[in-house]
Amino acid sequence: MPSIIVVGSGVAGMTAALEAVGSYDVTLLTKATLAQSNTRYAQGGVAVVIDAMNDPGAPKLGDTIESHVEDTLVAGAGLSDKDAVSILCAEGPAAMDELIERGVKFDRHDGELSHGLEAAHAYSRILHAGGDATGAGIAYALIDRVRESDIDARVQTTVVDLVVEDGVCVGVKLLGGEELRADHVVLATGGAGQLFPYSTNPAIATADGLGMALRAGVVAADLEFYQFHPTSLDAPGNFLVSEAVRGEGATLIDADGNRFMFDVHPDGELAPRDVVARGIAMQMAKQPGKPVRLDATALGAEFLAKRFPNIDAACRAQGFDWGEVPIPVTPAAHYYMGGIRTDEWGRTSLPGLYAVGEAACNGLHGANRLASNSLLEGAVYGTRVIEGLKDPQPVVPFDDEWPAPIAVDLLDDPEADDVNRTDLQRLMWDAAGLARNGDDLEAAIAELKRCKAPTVNDAKSAEDANLLVVARAVVTSALARKESRGGHYRTDIPETDPAQARHSSVVSHA
């Protein structure tokens, strides 16, 4: 029986591993526990056309696949790959039916699937589990299925590099030097939130898969596009305050108690995430030293505690009674639209290597992810990547929409100091955060060249090496895109250029 290694235990990784059981010998690797992933901490829900589900509790809302596709394309700011979007939306209902079969208990009311509204969606099509604990509901159900299966799941196992022989990925190298070999390797390592000092992601989100892929010469794409969530709690840990709170009617107010987002966008608090995040940042700059606040008091303490139990607990742990008093919020790094370049089957530019979920980029999210499409992506493309193993061809040649990659210099100066994660995060926030400009990006490239990757002798040094590689690629991509679009905003070039409505690609020449 052929073998497969899946690296990562979020919804994408566990879905892929479960889909492979029976046809492959499956090894699932994760550097922490099975539950430590971005999936586990996802609050908002899953966007899906509920009308198309087979669940007997699926209400008829008048929603359509075409509407979901259109909303996703609009959010993507002219850069979403329509084929990838169409696949996501069309195959989403079946993927949700499968999650229910695997034990996910989505919220219901009188037997009918509950459904919420989030920004930039034309319909109330967001499924939730446990109110604001959707990711946890999905993660723990899939963990139970993994433990019941023949999957060899190894926790506390750090992968430090890919093993490549004769131009083919044949396995992975573990911390300590051990090599695991397989016919196929799937990277489902999640996002890169730890590039920045303020992030809603857990501490494990250190761009590991992307860093390893770049070192191996694999093509990456759209690395300049990072989504900053508008509303994290302005307190240690930056706990995510879901967009669904605003979907239920909470408002953003300035230091004087006035709503300000309608001065920024006609959709106010429900504008696309990149617009709301920048609107908050601009308002914070106007009132230095005073926070922007999210006012959910009109919803009432009882409703908030029932609908958002985890957020309610986090607010109270920080001393905020958000049913009575508006809470301080601030933008934080949230989701990476860019990643390892793949096609719609998860195939990369390196034979034998596949990528799926937030670690991958098939053009689905374009320049800005539509709310609640990420868990859906993991479920849909986690299934498709296993189908893609049947035809293990590398990514199709570059074309007008996917240009030839620019080279990123990953060579270290042996005389340089080891990268310091705190300094790197601050540099990335200042130069490649919510707002960028050419001078700062050029200075950041120069500063990052004055750092070198540490000798990898533990999990943290492996993570730091990956963060440095990815940081260099991000600032190179951001400097190359000379326009503002979606999650990439340049103060020196604030206009969107229709001629640049194409993806970007990078590859290491080290």
Q: In sequence order, what are the residues at sequence separation of 6 or more whose Cβ sits closer than 8 angstroms to the Cβ of residue 302?
A: 323
Q: Residue 377, class by beta-carbon neighbours within 10 Å (0-12 exposed, 13-18 middle, 19+ buried)?
A: buried
3-state secondary structure 237-256: CCCECCHHHHHCCCEEECCC
Residue of 114, 410, 113 whose CA lies nearest to 247: 114
User: Would you state the structure tokens that stand for residue 124, as one six-digit string?
Assistant: 């109330």
**Host H or E run for residue 333:** strand 327-336
- Identify the pLDDT of residue 38: 87
Beta pairing partners, 333: 199, 228
Angle between helices 134-148 and 374-388 (to 10 degrees): 30
One pLDDT digit (tens) per residue for the chain, 510 residues: 999 999 999 999 999 999 999 999 999 999 999 999 989 888 779 999 999 999 999 999 999 999 999 999 999 999 999 999 999 999 999 999 999 999 999 999 999 999 988 878 999 999 999 988 899 999 999 999 999 999 999 999 999 999 999 999 999 999 999 999 999 999 999 999 999 999 999 999 999 999 999 999 999 999 999 999 999 999 988 898 988 899 899 999 999 999 999 999 999 998 877 889 999 999 998 998 788 999 999 999 999 999 999 899 999 999 999 999 999 999 999 999 999 999 999 999 999 999 999 999 999 999 999 989 999 999 999 999 999 998 877 765 567 778 889 999 888 988 999 999 999 999 999 999 999 999 999 999 999 999 999 999 999 999 999 999 999 999 999 999 999 999 999 999 999 999 999 999 999 976
Catalytic residue ranges: 273
The 8-class DSSP code of residue 268 comes to G
Residue 31's region, left for phi above 0, alpha for psi from -120 to 50, else beta, is alpha
- Identify the pLDDT of residue 43: 77
Q: How far apart are CA 448 and CA 309, in angstroms?
A: 41
At position 305, the amino acid (one-letter code) is A
- Identify the pLDDT of residue 402: 82
- Identify the pLDDT of residue 290: 86
Alpha carbon dihedral 476, 478, 481, 484, in 10-degree steps, equals -170
Phi, psi (deg, nearest 5) at residue 52: -90, 0
User: Would you state the structure tokens that stand for residue 480, as one six-digit string?
Assistant: 């190359």
- Identify the pLDDT of residue 397: 54
pTM of the model: 0.94
Q: How far apart are CA 81 and CA 85, in angstroms?
A: 6
- The answer to whether 347 and 393 are in contact (CB under 8 A) is yes
